[in-house]
Amino acid sequence: MNILVTGGAGYIGSHTCIALLEAGHSVIIADNLSNSKRETVMKIMDIADKEVTFYEIDVTDAEAVDIIFRNYKIDGVIHFAGLKAVGESVEKPLEYYYNNIVSTMVITKACQKYGVDRFVFSSSATVYGDNKVPFVETMDLLPTTNPYGETKAMSERILTDIANANPAFSVSILRYFNPVGAHESGLIGEAPNGIPNNLMPYVTQVAKGKLEKLRVFGNNYPTVDGTGVRDYIHVLDLAEGHVAALENLTEGVHVYNLGTGKGTSVLELVKAFEEANDIEVPYEIVDRRPGDIASCYADASKAKQELGWTAKRDIIAMCRDAWRFEKNYKE
Ligand code: NAD
Ligand code: WQD
């Protein structure tokens, strides 16, 4: 299939492009490079040893998007493009609502115009809010505490309404848990701008000596050791989940958790990182981070049953691959 991958130069998108190419699909990337680099597109081609087509466009720009649909017979879209920093979304709500909602509407509108009825969307476990773990797709969603989360919940709603009104439109909404790790080549991975907000990139930068020590946000949660528990998933497993979702798509709206189903605490992750890489990660315990919940992990059984997909890589592989990329990475 010819797959349009919006945000394909980004962290999850780039790994997914490789998985798509390896599965025999053709890839057209549309990315404005607002949080990624052009050279990542070259690296995707190097790793997969295949060509991809790249458009440097903003996917809120309907005319620029139309050109792609006009030039190529697109069979399906994976829509990753979006802004994703939770804290920043509180500071710049309009930017987040505009970018994340308008992009979803522009792309789906082009799909309708050109009769493209396969659509895979990047959602987030954040839409569950502070629900009871494990999170199951059938749960009522709870309000999120930030505009970023709202853009995901709203986009889910928009896609659901469109699919309900257009029976041929097939949508897979993928709720990612905590993607970490990198391609085993060490060539592509997560390279946040500035000081990382997320745990794994923070840990890798402490290990590299770029940051002095990890601050562990709270050790008095009702969890195994008091620190926050999350469902970390290797980005390559996540990438393969997208290929499975795309290839098994049927009419209607389908929501899938993409997680491992296993929770890991902050201190367990630090220990796993130290063991996997034989390197010390100094840390201190500080106050809880506002907006954090104690535990977040998936019931991952629906994706296994319906897509035949399950995460294969363990926390040691995630830590090893994240560190390999960080060691190689030059700003
Ligand atoms: P990323 O920032 O690395 O990738 C997003 C890509 O989209 C970037 O390359 C950026 O340049 C591009 N982009 C943003 N707005 C655009 C626009 N208007 N037009 C064209 N390109 C645009 O982020 P990621 O971690 O790869 O996340 C991909 C998707 O998955 C996002 O929608 C994100 O919200 C979602 N998600 C991410 C996580 C996570 O922890 N990384 C978790 C759940 C969901
Ligand atoms: C993980 C755990 C922190 C940093 C976020 C978004 C979510 C999704 C994934 C996009 C928590 C602790 C972290 C640090 C720490 N993104 N921590 N010290 O908050 O689960 O999810 O990314 O959709 O929407 O909210 O991920 O990696 O920030 O935190 O102790 O320096 O690590 O408190 O328990 P989070 P995270």
pLDDT digits (tens, 9 = 90+) for 271-299: 999 999 999 999 999 999 999 999 999 99
Q: How far is Cα of residue 125 from the mean position of the Cα atoms in its chain?
A: 10
CA of 202 to the centre of ligand 2 (A): 10
pLDDT for res 237: 98
pLDDT of res. 143: 82
pLDDT score at 132: 96
In this prediction, residue 176 carries a pLDDT of 98
Specify the residue for token string 């296993």. 262
Helix (H, G, I), strand (E, B) or coil at 327: helix
Q: What is the pLDDT of residues 305-315, one digit of tens each?
A: 999 999 999 99
Q: How far, in Å, is the centroid of ligand 2 from the Cα of 199?
A: 6
Q: Tens of pLDDT along 208-231?
A: 999 999 999 999 999 999 999 999
The answer to whether the CB of 9 falls within 8 A of the CB of 38 is yes
Burial class (CB in 10 A: 0-12, 13-18, 19+), 49: exposed
What are residue 295's DSSP bridge partners? Answer: 229
Q: What is the pLDDT of residue 207?
A: 98
Whole-angstrom CA distances from 2 to 10, 105, 124, 226 are: 19, 21, 25, 47
Would you say residue 159 has pLDDT above 90? yes
For 150, residues 6+ apart whose C-beta sits below 8 A from its C-beta are: 97, 144
**8 Å CB contact between 316 and 245:** no
Catalytic residue among 55, 148, 232, 256: 148
pLDDT in tens, 175-206: 999 999 999 999 999 999 899 999 999 999 99
Residue 330 has pLDDT above 90, yes or no: no
Average pLDDT over residues 240-253: 97
How high is the pLDDT of residue 126? 97
Instruction: Give the C-alpha separation, 199 to 204, whole Å.
Output: 9
pLDDT value, residue 55: 98
Query: What is the distance between the alpha carbons of residues 184 and 301, in angstroms, rounded to a whole number?
Result: 26
Per-residue pLDDT, averaged over 114-143, amounts to 96
Sign of CA dihedral 256, 262, 265, 269: negative
Active site (annotated) includes residue 148 = yes
The SS3 call for residue 252 is strand
- Do residues 18 and 44 make contact, with C-beta atoms less than 8 angstroms apart? yes
pLDDT higher than 90, residue 331: no
Write out 46-73 in H/E/C secondary structure.
Answer: HHHCCCCEEECCCCCCHHHHHHHHHHCC
- Å from CA of 160 to ligand 2 middle: 28
Residues in contact with ligand 2 by the CB-under-6-Å rule are: 84, 86, 124, 126, 178, 197-199, 202, 214-217, 228, 230, 266, 289, 292, 296
Kindly tell me if the per-residue pLDDT of 152 is higher than 90: yes
SS3 180: strand
**Ligand having the closest approach to the CA of 174:** 1
At 198 the pLDDT is: 97
pLDDT the model gives residue 106:
98
Of the pLDDT bands very low, low, confident and very high (cuts 50, 70, 90), residue 59 is very high
- Across all residues in the chain, what is the average pLDDT? 97
User: Do residues 22 and 70 lie in contact, with contact meaning Cβ atoms separated by under 8 Å?
Assistant: no
pLDDT for 81 beyond 90: yes
Q: What percent of the chain has pLDDT over 90?
A: 98
- β-bridge mates for residue 124, sequence order: 176
The closest-lying atom of ligand 2 relative to the alpha carbon of residue 179 is 9
